[in-house]
Structure 1
Amino acid sequence: MFKSTNFTQSELVNLSKEIAVVGVDYTPFTSLLLAKGNTEKATSTIYTWRERSLVHDEDISAVEGEDTTVFTESGRRELNNVLEIFKKGVSVSGTAIAMQSNQLNSEVSDRLLELKINLEKKLINGIKNDGSTTPFKRQMAGLIAFADPTNAVNVTGTVTEDHVKQVMRNLWNQDLAEGQYFALVNADIKEQIDNIYKDRYSYQHKTTNFGLVVDSIETNYGTVNIVLSKHVPADKMVVFNDAYIDLVYLREPAFEPLAKTGDSVKGQVIAEATLKVGSPKAVAVVTVA
């Protein structure tokens, strides 16, 4: 719990624990990464990594007692993303604080939620910009931008069970490391998925609880967990293997007091972060036309 007594002109209050639990329903993708501990630390404004891949195409049978002369290493393609700054200002008048002493805490909590929602949007939809031209804002590439085109599934009309199987098979064909599969969908596509299975279920236990929500779908190529997110474009379903996805911080979310210049207390909630996709092969996009 952070209190108003924590805020001094020289102190920075870390909010990394608070951001993990605030607004989970509004920010399912960010909350998922934080809950699973899929976070890393950056040391500069560009985060670079080597693509993670597995090699399965060679014969590795060996003769008893032979020397080892052939060595294998994972794919070494270099990938990177840009660290983006997220900032929300907080200003509370002296009168407001006098009337309600915890008003500053409330404002900081609201700004933190707003920051997390904006971070969620960029983690999914961000378009990469290194900030070298006007308006000089560094912007990250999001999950959709990283998706491997060979995984793509194009749909005319509505999503069917065959489309779900196809996108899972595309990911399965990539020989990925083990992980859980998640599909981020907006309301329209979620309703289409629910409709696929509307006549394929039965009620158990709670006979007064009617309705249908599809939380996961089992296929021959793995189980995909369906996650509703209002920040995914209405015409897309984004499927990913969580073993390859990380949230990277240069600066974890924090509250920084600003200089007092009048009858108000000022500060800012700030973070600097980006998305790491260990391999674009681990991300697929279904597009509905």
Structure 2
Amino acid sequence: MPGVAAIANVYNTPNYVGELFALTPSDTPFLSAIGGLTGGKRANGVVHTWQVYDLRAPDPARQRLEGADAPPPESRVRGTARNVVEIHQETVGVTYTRQAAQQQFAGTGSPIANAVSIPGTNPVPDEMDWQTRQSLIQIGRDVEVSFLTGTMAEPTDNSTARKTGGILQAIKTNVVTNAQPAALTEKMVLDLLQSVWTNGGIQVSETATLMCGAWQKRQLTNQFVTLKNYREQTRNVGGVSVTTIETDFGQLNVSLNRYMPADTVLVVSLDQCAPVLLETPGKGFLFSEPLAKTGAADKAQIYGEIGLEYGPEIAHGKITGLTTTAVSS
């Protein structure tokens, strides 16, 4: 059903009788697995930074002579990464009449004409609360897309909106790019996993995850379960149910995500990722508050600022340029 860009009234949002089913999927597996809209870290500004550092390579010739002077000092250099929080703001509004007429049911014609012709009960007793919940769900879906595919925008003034950079944009080191569309293979996945593991990612088995859309999920199942005859299992990560597959680099979660680009497979160390929330003093994060009264309707805005912290980008990886349908023989 289409939405309406207007205050809800008895004509544009009529009541009906019977159980209420959602037509649109509301799952947000990446956001949910790393903390959701109620978890994560707190920011103290619109720009959120974190630090990274490395250690020198192990040296088999590092031994010292007995009685030798101390060697020259060495220091490790810290690096920094950054992202911005983006604003999510929605408005809901319901007329006084719409709130009062909760037991007025619409038939096949005009809501008013058929108002008393259908017996039953309304599964939505409070229209304002219901519309608010749907806006929160929609914000969660928007954030999920931003965290995956967002392109960071850090404007110098308020003429354009801030946008948080997604995990796919952040990955620069562990990348497998197919110049021409290519079918996903076991070798592609293992080569990427090896690169990520070598650089310190996917060290925590419970949070090491392959994330992809429907077609690439089928290819992963075919490569690692059907052809290898491994047993596919399931487990729960941050409240999200995932399947697991055996690889040379441990048992990895496979998370099906409808917002992933169809030609991409993501390797993500979920333990390195977190939502970052900028709280408004006295209000918190993602709050609802009434707007000024201008007529016979209640209006409220939902407001929150959120960004993605992805840790060291070398802890993640991606394969791009994959085929998205079966290749004809």
Fold in common (TM above 0.5): yes
Q: Partners in 1 of 2:185 and 2:318 — Cα distance? A: 15
Query: Which residue number in structure 2 is paired with residue 281 of structure 1?
Result: 314
Alignment-mate amino acid for residue 238 of structure 1 = L
Q: Secondary structure at the residue paired with 1:34? A: coil
Q: Partners in 1 of 2:195 and 2:59 — Cα distance? A: 21
**Larger radius of gyration, structure 1 or 2?**
2
Q: Deviations over 1:115-173 (max 9, x none)?
A: 0000000011111111236841011111011112x311234421111112111101111
Query: Which residue number in structure 1 is paired with residue 226 of structure 2?
Result: 198
Q: Deviations over 1:184-208 (max 9, x none)?
A: 201121122222233544899xxxx
Query: Is the 1:159–1:288 contact (alpha carbons within 8 Å) kept by the matching residues of 2?
Result: no
The alignment's TM-score, normalised by the length of structure 1, stands at 0.77
Q: Partners in 2 of 1:53 and 1:24 — Cα distance? A: 41
| Unmatched segments (≥5 aa) in structure 1 | 1-22, 205-213
Q: Partners in 2 of 1:246 and 1:202 — Cα distance? A: 32
Query: Is the 2:83–2:164 contact (alpha carbons within 8 Å) kept by the matching residues of 1?
Result: yes
Q: Deviations over 1:92-115 (max 9, x none)?
A: 111121123511111111000000
Query: Which residue number in structure 1 is paired with residue 249 of structure 2?
Result: 221
Q: In the alignment, which of 194, 197, 221 is matched to residue 169 of structure 1?
A: 194
Size of the aligned set, in residue pairs, is: 256
| Unmatched segments (≥5 aa) in structure 2 | 1-23, 103-124, 233-241, 280-284, 323-329
Distance apart, 1:53 and its partner CA: 3.9
Higher relative contact order (CA 8 A, sep 6+): 1
Task: Give the root-mean-square deviation of aligned CA atoms.
Answer: 3.1
Query: Which residue number in structure 2 is paired with residue 233 of structure 1?
Result: 261
Alignment-mate amino acid for residue 217 of structure 1 = I
Whichever structure has more helix as a proportion of its residues is 1
Alignment-mate amino acid for residue 229 of structure 1 = N
The alignment's TM-score, normalised by the length of structure 2, stands at 0.69
Q: Deviations over 1:196-239 (max 9, x none)?
A: 233544899xxxxxxxxx92222222332111111111111111
Alignment-mate amino acid for residue 153 of structure 1 = V
Query: Is the 2:210–2:268 contact (alpha carbons within 8 Å) kept by the matching residues of 1?
Result: yes
- Does 1:265 pair with 2:298? yes
Q: In the alignment, which of 183, 187, 192 is matched to residue 210 of structure 2?
A: 183
Identical aligned residues as a percent: 25
Distance apart, 1:85 and its partner CA: 0.3
Query: Which residue number in structure 2 is paired with residue 17 of structure 1?
Result: none
- Does 1:160 pair with 2:207? no
Query: Which residue number in structure 1 is paired with residue 270 of structure 2?
Result: 242
